[in-house]
Amino acid sequence: MTSRCLLRAIAPALAALVVTGPMAASPSPPDLPALLDEYAAGGDRAIRRVELLGDDTAIEMRLDWATLGRAWIERDASDRPRRLFVAAAFALETEAILVERGLWSRSASRKIKEKGKESTVRCNGACVISWARGLFVERGAPDAAEHAWWIASVALAQGVRDTRFLLPPPAPSATESNLAIAARLGQVPNTTTLGHLAAALTRFPNDPQFRLAKVVAASARFEITTDAAPRSPGTGNGTSDMALPNIVVISRASGAAPAVPVRPTSAQVNRARYAELPGILSDFEAIAGDATAGIGVRTEARIRLGYLHWATGDSARALAALTLAAESAPSADLRYLADYLAGVAHESLGDAAAATAAYEAALTARPHSQSASIKLAVLRQLHGDAAGAQAIAQETLDRRPNDADPWRLFLYGHYPQLPALLAEIRLQVPR
Amino acid sequence: MRRVTPWIASALAVLLGAGAFAQAQAPTFRATTSTVVVNVNVRRGNAVVANLTADDFRLTDNGAPQQIESVSIETMPIDVTLFLDTSGSTSGKRDEMQRDVQSVVTMLGRDDRLRMLTIGDAVEVALPWVPAGTTVTAKFPVVGGISLVNDALAFGLAHRAAPGRRHLVVGMTDRQDCGSAISASQVLELAGRTEAMLYLVDYSGGGDSVPYRVRSCTPRAAAGGVRIIDEAAARTGGMVRDQSFWFRAASIAKAFRTILADFRQSYVLRYSPAGTQVRGWHAVVVTVPAFPAATIRARQGYFVD
């Protein structure tokens, strides 16, 4: 091919590139006020634009909230309450996009000058959500729309297991310092000394959903492991090793932190943290028995109580809580979880027949869910029914459910419901 | 080939009945009740020791010497379950994984077949059972924050090849589990109840370059989980190809070729257990007295439930 032919061949592509520009691959820095206008007008265009941003550009936008976002809010005093809500909602939606890319913790940084002195402001996902929640204080009395926002923001933080953000931080972190700077500059209200859930409870005192989320976050500091010491071949009797529970304390609040075994090897090291467990258990019990809480909240509290009892080696109490939860579960997912975890507890007690029945009950609530199916298949195989195990395994692989396994949802907190929660918030935006 | 576990279960039903009296008899196998299959690999250095016969092997079942009924270098068709760990920690090798799947399929024998399992938010069938020679296209995402290694191995080991076929499970994985319903110890127990051979390739290339969308890595496997999974492979007569210099330069296709050759060069011993207790763990020990310096890798035993 001659160079002229080659040029002719690639000319249309070059022309298309020139016309369309490199937007998709390398978008221009976002114009936050314009995005807020679009979002306030309704529709998904503003969201789509953020989705097209490169990681660095999207992160950079975090630093614009306190300045450009604030300016957009103040642009029309008569529309201020609505603008406060729109800004908070859009901030949450953009952070949800960044979380899906794994960018919650990554900070944008910018040098600023204050009284001639230069300093660096950094802002990550927690920083943006903290800024956004402060807008509600300015907006006035809490309402249903604000409640929906808090529920969604808690779900987001549960998804990234950021307990440092959800609960009162033990010490000022970099994020708090940065926000303190911003607060001094009058750019954000200084609410950052509170954990996110404590802040939610100042807006909605005694709200059962936030109380439950607070205890869930506290329990998320304990990382549950599925395994224990291997049995020697000569002692195998077909039951699982879950009779030796293992619970570890994570030394930092994030789920990715190094785990230090508490039981049975390093109890002294983490005794203080481990001592929190009884309080967490009683908090779960209190919510489970709170008649003012909705049945969904009470059932989830019972399920999480049961799981924690199991993890601490008390399978009998676990079963008591899980049985109650199964009886009262208002949804298939909660029913599934209660029965699935009851199966796990039965296994720990060495009762394979009861475990099998519990897993089968779970699958009645949510057919073909993989966690109970593989548990059932393994139980069958460990008790001599290899053909039955194969049939279950093959059928499970063949019929992949369309929706996520409730057991996985349990591990993510309420994060899997985030798209629905965000949709609810959009409906609350006054147009 | 007859299967041990269901056959023994049937035999137990006859021999023991359902009562405590029967259990108290401490029954033993009769020579005709079942056949146990043991895969054995015999090597001197890197070379396979060939042309061995039944008389060359000594086999004990829970310490009781057994009569080996047949020895063969198997030509039976193979069911291959290939498990590719597509969690975040292996993300750097995704392109290689997708490219090499076709090469792997071309290595199969005429009547062999293969399926491929991967990990997403669940264990997934990236490729259903396909016969040798099939043109395949495997596309799969790499998912960070969750790594259902144990569940995938349990699904793999649950498959029973049809009579006249063998089952090879190859796991390309770093064995770092998080989020599985099944524990490593349960995988180990399953390994004592399968006739499949489990080979693992320490596949940790690429690091955790896929950021966690959300941190779902809980419950995570306790420390020691990797060792337990490795023990499971050894129990089946398989092995772990670690991150040796050999593998760092090797592709999935090359690693698979080596494993397939190792599997095909294994002797398959069959015997009917005699003079040993029925229930529980049966430790199997194989030796080749004529080659005392040989390296022998064999199924380490089996459970009777």
Q: According to the model, what pLDDT value does residue B45 have?
A: 86
Are B147 and B119 in contact by the 8 Å Cβ rule? The answer is yes
The distance of A207 to chain B (nearest Cα, Å) reads 26
CB contact under 8 A, A384 and B5: yes
pLDDT tier for residue A171 given thresholds of 50, 70 and 90: very low
- CA dihedral sign of residues A193, A196, A202, A205: negative
CB contact under 8 A, A393 and B154: yes
> What is the pLDDT averaged over residues A158-164?
82
pLDDT at A254 over 90: no
Q: By percentage, how much of chain B surpasses pLDDT 70? A: 75
Q: What is each CA distance from A31 to A52, A100, A246, A347, in whole angstroms?
A: 13, 22, 50, 56
For B144, the token pair is: 């960070």
Q: Compare all CA atoms of chain B with the CA of A382 and give the residue at the minimum distance.
A: B190
pLDDT at B155 over 50: yes
Residues of B within 8 A of A237 (CB-CB) are 280
Residues of A within 8 A of B155 (CB-CB) are 374, 377, 393, 396-397
The distance of B216 to chain A (nearest Cα, Å) reads 6
Lowest pLDDT segment from A164-173, A265-274, B37-46: A265-274
> What tens digit of pLDDT does each residue of B162-190 get?
988 899 999 988 888 878 889 888 999 99
- Distance (Å, whole) CA A353 – CA A350: 9
Q: Nearest CA to B190 among A337, A406, A393, A356?
A: A393
Q: Which of A161, A233, A242 sits opposite B301 (nearest CB)?
A: A233
pLDDT tier for residue A163 given thresholds of 50, 70 and 90: confident
Lowest pLDDT segment from A390-399, B43-52, B58-67: B43-52
The distance of A239 to chain B (nearest Cα, Å) reads 8
Strand partners, B271: B36, B68
pLDDT at A136 over 60: yes
Lowest pLDDT segment from A33-42, A175-184, A211-220: A175-184
> What is the pLDDT averaged over residues A115-132?
87
Q: According to the model, what pLDDT value does residue B6 have?
A: 41
Q: Nearest CA to B40 among B246, B232, B296?
A: B296
Are B303 and B193 in contact by the 8 Å Cβ rule? The answer is yes
Lowest pLDDT segment from A42-51, A151-160, A268-277: A268-277
Residues of B within 8 A of A256 (CB-CB) are 212, 215, 217
Q: Which amino acid is at A17?
A: L
Are B154 and B182 in contact by the 8 Å Cβ rule? The answer is yes
Q: According to the model, what pLDDT value does residue A225 have?
A: 60
Are B2 and B35 in contact by the 8 Å Cβ rule? The answer is yes
Q: According to the model, what pLDDT value does residue A274 have?
A: 64
CB contact under 8 A, B182 and A378: yes
What torsion do the CA atoms of B263, B99, B158, B36 make, to the nearest 10 degrees? -10
Q: According to the model, what pLDDT value does residue A39 have?
A: 95
Q: According to the model, what pLDDT value does residue A341 have?
A: 95
Q: Where are the alpha helices (DSSP H) in A242-385?
A: 271-274, 277-288, 295-311, 315-328, 332-348, 352-365, 370-382
> What tens digit of pLDDT does each residue of B196-252 get?
999 998 876 554 444 444 444 555 555 677 888 999 999 999 998 875 555 555 577
CB contact under 8 A, B223 and A261: yes
Average pLDDT, chain A: 79
CB contact under 8 A, B160 and A386: yes
pLDDT tier for residue B72 given thresholds of 50, 70 and 90: confident
> What tens digit of pLDDT does each residue of A286-321 get?
999 999 999 999 999 999 999 888 887 788 999 999
For chain A, give the number of residues: 431
Q: Which residue has the tokens 């941003």?
A: A53
Say whether residue B189 is in contact with chain A using an 8 A CB cutoff.
yes
For A305, the token pair is: 């109580």
Q: Nearest CA to B173 among B144, B138, B149?
A: B149
Q: Which amino acid is at B158?
A: A
Q: Compare all CA atoms of chain B with the CA of A373 and give the residue at the minimum distance.
A: B181
pTM of the model: 0.79
CB contact under 8 A, A233 and B300: yes
The distance of A205 to chain B (nearest Cα, Å) reads 29
The distance of B92 to chain A (nearest Cα, Å) reads 17
Residue with the bigger pLDDT between A13 and B122: it is B122
Q: Which long-range contacts (CB under 8 A, 24 or more apart) does B239-248 make?
A: B239/B199, B239/B200, B239/B297, B240/B199, B240/B200, B240/B201, B240/B202, B241/B199, B241/B200, B241/B201, B241/B202, B242/B202, B243/B202, B243/B204, B247/B201, B247/B202
A194 Cβ contact partners less than 8 Å away, ≥ 6 residues apart: A168, A202
Residues of A within 8 A of B220 (CB-CB) are 223, 225-226, 259
Say whether residue B6 is in contact with chain A using an 8 A CB cutoff.
yes
Q: How many CB pairs under 8 A join A and B?
A: 188
pLDDT at A348 over 50: yes
Q: Which helix (H) or strand (E) holds A95?
A: helix A80-100
B283 phi and psi angles, rounded to 5 deg:
-80, 125
What torsion do the CA atoms of A200, A135, A129, A126 make, to the nearest 10 degrees? -90
What torsion do the CA atoms of A189, A193, A196, A197 make, to the nearest 10 degrees? -120
The distance of A158 to chain B (nearest Cα, Å) reads 9
Q: Nearest CA to A220 among A417, A414, A362?
A: A414
Say whether residue B63 is in contact with chain A using an 8 A CB cutoff.
no
CB contact under 8 A, A225 and B222: yes
Say whether residue B214 is in contact with chain A using an 8 A CB cutoff.
yes
Q: Which of B6, B184, B211 sits opposite A387 (nearest CB)?
A: B6
For A119, the token pair is: 């300093």
pLDDT at A17 over 70: no
- The DSSP code sequence of A381-409 is HHTT-HHHHHHHHHHHHHS--SS--HHHH
- B:237-276 residues touching chain A, CB 8 A cutoff: none
pLDDT at A273 over 90: no
Residue A130: exposure state from Cβ atoms within 10 A (0-12, 13-18, ≥19): buried
pLDDT at B54 over 90: yes
Q: According to the model, what pLDDT value does residue A309 have?
A: 87
pLDDT tier for residue B273 given thresholds of 50, 70 and 90: very high
Are B233 and B198 in contact by the 8 Å Cβ rule? The answer is yes
Say whether residue B207 is in contact with chain A using an 8 A CB cutoff.
no
pLDDT at A270 over 60: no
- The DSSP code sequence of A357-368 is HHHHHHHHHSTT
The distance of B305 to chain A (nearest Cα, Å) reads 5
Are B60 and B284 in contact by the 8 Å Cβ rule? The answer is yes
Q: According to the model, what pLDDT value does residue B18 have?
A: 31
Residue B94: exposure state from Cβ atoms within 10 A (0-12, 13-18, ≥19): buried
Q: By percentage, how much of chain A surpasses pLDDT 70? A: 74
pLDDT at B40 over 80: yes
Average pLDDT, chain B: 79
For chain B, give the number of residues: 305
Residues of A within 8 A of B227 (CB-CB) are 230
Q: Compare all CA atoms of chain A with the CA of B157 and give the residue at the minimum distance.
A: A390
Q: By percentage, how much of chain A surpasses pLDDT 90? A: 52
pLDDT at A81 over 90: yes
pLDDT at A187 over 70: no
Residues of B within 8 A of A247 (CB-CB) are none
Helix A45-52 with A80-100: angle, nearest 10 deg: 40
Q: Where are the alpha helices (DSSP H) in A140-207?
A: 144-159, 163-166, 174-184, 196-203
Q: According to the model, what pLDDT value does residue B142 have?
A: 63
Which of A223, A227, A252 should we substitute to test contact with B (largest number of B Cβ atoms within 10 Å)?
Answer: A227
